């Protein structure tokens, strides 16, 4: 049985992150055909990368996991370097108009004179972390022991540095989306190295190939994640009231600040007993919530399914998604999805499936809540059937494992 490594920044049952959950699900399904080993860090927190789990080898749901310690993130240095790269991107991409005809070229020249850009990106990727040279050294030293290396997430040090050591044996799952760091020019090196790229969606593939044309020369496919209906014996409504549901990191970058503001405005206009339930770890320090908003913290998969089962709809406010696994989880359970139209990936899911609604502003949001709450039973059945059919036809593990098998065979020269 061939040995395959999965390289990901964090890995555990209690890690709250889409790419990390994707990595765990893929590892557990590929383990039926390959000897899977996960190479990861000791971190649980993606903000600081502080070592939390014990370094060394352990088993997680039957998968061999090898953990390497990482240096704690220097937040101040990372912020400073990010600021420089963002400014550089703004100046280099800025369009000259009659209003800035004279000033923009001068700003560009002064900025480049002030900042030494030659090693700026390399310093930033180290500061971005998780900085774990021992993991990269292991990849380099043990390259011949593995048939393939599957790297998750373009944004982090283990992928950017690690893939340069084993490019001819690598499958990159970029989980890329339209965010500022994605356009940092030195990522062109990353999108030149893999032997194979496995995208989550067509939208992601088009974004990467549009931004880094060299990636078009690399063999690729679109796989995503497989989903099955949960077989939990679901009990009763956990709240005994109607509620909308958000699942994921409670984070400003995930659109949660806007979601809470929109929902509070809805409650001011509509005096009902409907609640908003936020499931996941809270990363918003100054989170202000009302009596109509409920925080559950991190919950088990069974409890998460229970909240989904009895919700009116799942709400996804994040603009930055490469797949949105929780959207597909809701659909396979027959629940409507309300998503921001500012995410191309989410909008495509809704448009193609016919299993939900999108909003572009606060008034849209409030209108959609009212529409969902007044759906007829027949309409609910149609939405449920649409969602289930969409996931079963496009996101099943048999097809996904087959695609990875073909990619690994291609790398291995079979």
308-323: average pLDDT? 93
Residue 281 has pLDDT above 90, yes or no: no
251 or 245, higher pLDDT: 245
CB 226 within 8 A of CB 397: yes
279-295: average pLDDT? 87
Q: Which of 137-151, 225-239, 337-351 has the lowest mean pLDDT?
A: 225-239
Burial group, residue 353, by CB count within 10 angstroms (0-12, 13-18, 19+): buried
Residue 41 has pLDDT above 70, yes or no: yes
SS3 224: coil
Residue 99 binned pLDDT confidence (cut-offs 50, 70, 90): very low
Q: Which of 103-117, 229-243, 395-409 has the lowest mean pLDDT?
A: 103-117
d(CA 308, CA 305): 5
pLDDT at position 91: 46
How many other C-beta atoms are found inside a 10 Å radius of the C-beta of residue 258? 16
Give the whole-number percent of the chain exceeding pLDDT 90.
67
d(CA 132, CA 291): 43
Reported residue count of the chain is 414
How is domain 243-394 classified at the architecture level of CATH?
3-Layer(aba) Sandwich (3.40)
Residue 105 binned pLDDT confidence (cut-offs 50, 70, 90): low
d(CA 190, CA 218): 12
Q: Are strands 56-60 and 63-68 parallel, antiparallel or unpaired?
A: antiparallel
Which fold does the domain 3-72+129-225+397-411 belong to in CATH? Answer: Rossmann fold (3.40.50)
pLDDT at position 77: 87
SS3 173: strand
Give the whole-number percent of the chain exceeding pLDDT 70.
91
Burial group, residue 347, by CB count within 10 angstroms (0-12, 13-18, 19+): middle
Residue closest to 184 by CA, chosen among 105, 87, 111, 110: 87
277-281: average pLDDT? 93
End-to-end CA distance of the chain: 14
97 or 65, higher pLDDT: 65
Dihedral angle of Cα 333, 338, 340, 343, to the nearest 10 degrees: 20
Q: Where in the chain is the domain with CATH 3.40.50.2000?
A: 3-72+129-225+397-411, 243-394
């Amino acid at each position: 049985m061939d040995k395959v490594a999965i390289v990901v920044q964090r890995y555990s049952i209690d890690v709250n992150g889409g790419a990390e959950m994707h990595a765990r699900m893929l590892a557990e399904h590929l383990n039926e055909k390959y000897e899977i080993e996960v190479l990861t860090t000791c971190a649980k927190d993606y903000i600081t990368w502080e070592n939390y789990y014990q370094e060394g080898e352990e088993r997680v749901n039957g998968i061999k996991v090898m953990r390497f310690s990482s240096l704690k993130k220097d937040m101040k240095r990372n912020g400073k370097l990010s600021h420089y790269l963002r400014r550089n991107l703004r100046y280099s991409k800025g369009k000259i108009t009659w209003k800035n005809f004279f000033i923009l070229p001068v700003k560009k020249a002064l900025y480049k004179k002030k900042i030494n850009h030659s090693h700026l990106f390399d310093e930033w990727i180290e500061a971005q972390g998780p900085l774990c040279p021992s993991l990269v050294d292991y990849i380099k030293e043990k390259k011949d022991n593995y048939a393939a290396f599957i790297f998750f997430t373009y944004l982090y040090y283990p992928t950017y540095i690690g893939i340069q050591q084993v490019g001819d044996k690598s499958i990159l799952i970029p989980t890329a989306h339209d965010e500022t760091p994605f356009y940092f020019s030195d990522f062109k090196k990353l999108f030149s190295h893999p032997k194979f790229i496995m995208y989550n969606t067509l939208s992601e593939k088009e974004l990467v190939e549009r931004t880094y044309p060299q990636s078009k020369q690399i063999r690729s496919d679109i796989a995503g994640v497989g989903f099955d209906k949960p077989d939990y014996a679901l009990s009763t409504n956990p709240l005994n009231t109607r509620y909308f549901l958000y699942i994921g990191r409670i984070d400003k970058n995930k659109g949660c600040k806007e979601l809470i503001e929109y929902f509070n405005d809805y409650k001011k206009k509509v005096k009902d007993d409907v609640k908003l339930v936020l499931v996941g770890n809270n990363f918003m320090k100054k989170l202000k919530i009302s009596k109509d908003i409920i925080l559950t913290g991190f919950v088990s998969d069974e409890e998460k399914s229970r909240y989904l089962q009895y919700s009116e709809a799942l709400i996804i406010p994040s603009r930055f998604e490469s797949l949105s696994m929780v959207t597909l989880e809701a659909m396979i359970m027959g629940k409507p999805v309300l998503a921001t139209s500012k995410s191309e990936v989410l909008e495509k899911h809704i448009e193609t499936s016919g299993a939900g609604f999108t909003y572009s502003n606060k008034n849209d949001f409030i209108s959609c809540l009212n529409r969902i709450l007044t759906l007829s039973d027949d309409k609910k059945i149609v939405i449920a059937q649409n969602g289930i059919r969409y996931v079963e036809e496009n996101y099943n593990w048999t097809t996904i494992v087959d695609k990875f098998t073909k990619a690994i065979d291609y790398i291995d020269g079979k």
